[in-house]
Amino acid sequence: MTEARKGTEFGLQVRLFFMTMKHTIILLSALFGLVFNAAAFNYGDARFEPEDIVNFQKTMELLKGDRNLPMNQTVIKVAKSFLGTPYVARTLDKDPEMLTVNTRQTDCILFVEMCLALSLTSKEDHPTFEKYVDNLRKLRYRCGVVDGYASRIHYTSEWIIQGTVRGLYREVSREVGGTPLDQKFNFMSTHSNNYRQLKENPELVGKIAEVERNLETYQYWYVAQADLEKCLKNIKTGDIICFNSTVGGLDIAHVSYAYWENGVLTFIHASMGEMKVCINKKPLLDYVKDSKSINGVRVVRLY
C-alpha cells in the first residue's frame, strides 16, 4: 500500500471516528438527558473526552459567519466564550506523552493555544474536530510531531519562533517600543528535578539542553517594566502578551491576550489567582508593576 493511500485511509478512519462519536454523544444526550462524562478517548497520538467535541462544535457555531473576521478579533471572541473555565495546572502531565486536548480545564499557555487553534480551524473551508486537533498539535509540538516529552515545546520563545516560521503571527516587541533582551535559557536542564519526566528519564535532559542552546542563538526584544506605560498605546486587542520572567534561565512567566476595555488595557487569561479564565481586574500596567516575578512583556501579533 502506498504512503499516500495509507494517509488517505487514516484520514477517513479519523473522520468516521469523530462523526460516530459526535452522533453517539448527541443521541445519548437526547435520549437520556445525560451530561456525558466518559473517560478520555485515545485516538492515534491524541487524548480527549466527548465534552471536548461538544465544546468544539459550540465554538464553531459561535464563529459561524465570522470567517472574514480579523484573527485578533476572532481569538478574543473565542477567549470570552471560555470565561469561567477552571484553571487546572499540569493537565499535560500524563503518560505516555500524547497530544492532550482539553477544552474543559486549562492553564495560561494552553488557554492561548486553545483559543488560537479554534480560531484557525474556524477559518477552514470545512472546520472539523480533526482539523482542530491538528492545529493544536502543530502549535504545541516541534514541527507538529508528537515524539515524547522532549518533542513538546516547553519554552514560550520557541513557541513564538515556530509560529512565526509558519506565518501565524510575528513578534512585535521591538516595534511597539521594546529594547534588546539578553535572554538566557537553562532553567529546565539545571532544574530537572522540578520536572517529573526529566527526573524519571535523565537521558532527556540532554535533549532539553540542546533546545536551550539553540534558543540562545536568536535575538530577543522586550518592553521593560519602566518603558511599558509609554508603549501601551502600541499594543492591540488580541495581541499575545508574554510576561517576561525575572527567574534566571527562564524566558516567560505567564501569557495572555491583550484586551482594551473602556480605554484601559487589561488582558484575558487563565488566572492561577482566580483559578479560572477571566478578564484581569488590574490593568496590564499595574499588573506588571506589582509583580516581583515579571520585569516586562513581549508582544506577539496575530496575522
Determine the pLDDT at residue 156. 98
* Topology, domain 3-151: Putative xylanase fold (1.10.3670)
Q: In angstroms, rounded to a whole number, what is the distance separating the alpha carbons of residues 242 and 240?
A: 6
- Listed in sequence order, the residues at least 6 apart from 250 whose beta carbon sits closer than 8 Å to its beta carbon are 185, 187
Domain 169-302: CATH architecture, name and number where available: Roll (2.30)
Q: What are the residue ranges of CATH 2.30.260.10 in the chain?
A: 169-302
Contacts of the segment 107-113: beta carbons below 8 A, 24+ positions apart: 107/270, 107/272, 108/254, 108/255, 108/256, 108/269, 108/270, 108/272, 109/156, 109/159, 109/255, 110/270, 111/79, 111/82, 111/85, 111/269, 111/270, 111/277, 112/240, 112/255, 112/256, 112/257, 113/139, 113/140
Compute how many other C-beta atoms are within 10 angstroms of the C-beta atom of residue 49. 18
Determine the pLDDT at residue 41. 76
Determine the pLDDT at residue 191. 98
CA distances from 55 to 15, 52, 135, 245, 292 (A): 17, 5, 16, 33, 36
**For the chain, how far is it from start to end, CA to CA, in angstroms?**
39
Q: In angstroms, rounded to a whole number, what is the distance separating the alpha carbons of residues 9 and 32?
A: 34
Residues 79/132, Cβ–Cβ less than 8 Å: no
Per-residue pLDDT of the chain (303 residues; tens, 9 = 90+): 443 443 444 445 445 555 555 454 444 344 333 333 445 678 789 999 999 999 999 999 999 999 999 999 999 999 999 999 999 999 999 999 999 999 999 999 999 999 999 999 999 999 999 999 999 999 999 999 999 999 999 999 999 999 999 999 999 999 999 999 999 999 999 999 999 999 999 999 999 999 999 999 999 999 999 999 999 999 999 999 999 999 999 999 999 999 999 999 999 999 999 999 999 999 999 999 999 999 999 999 999
Question: Which DSSP helix (H) or strand (E) runs through 279?
Answer: strand 276-279
- Which grid coordinates belong to 127? 472546520
Determine the pLDDT at residue 21. 52
Compute how many other C-beta atoms are within 10 angstroms of the C-beta atom of residue 81. 17
Q: What is the DSSP string of 40-85?
A: PEEETTEEE-HHHHHHHHHHHHHTTT-TTS-HHHHHHHHHHHTTTP
Residues 132/56, Cβ–Cβ less than 8 Å: yes
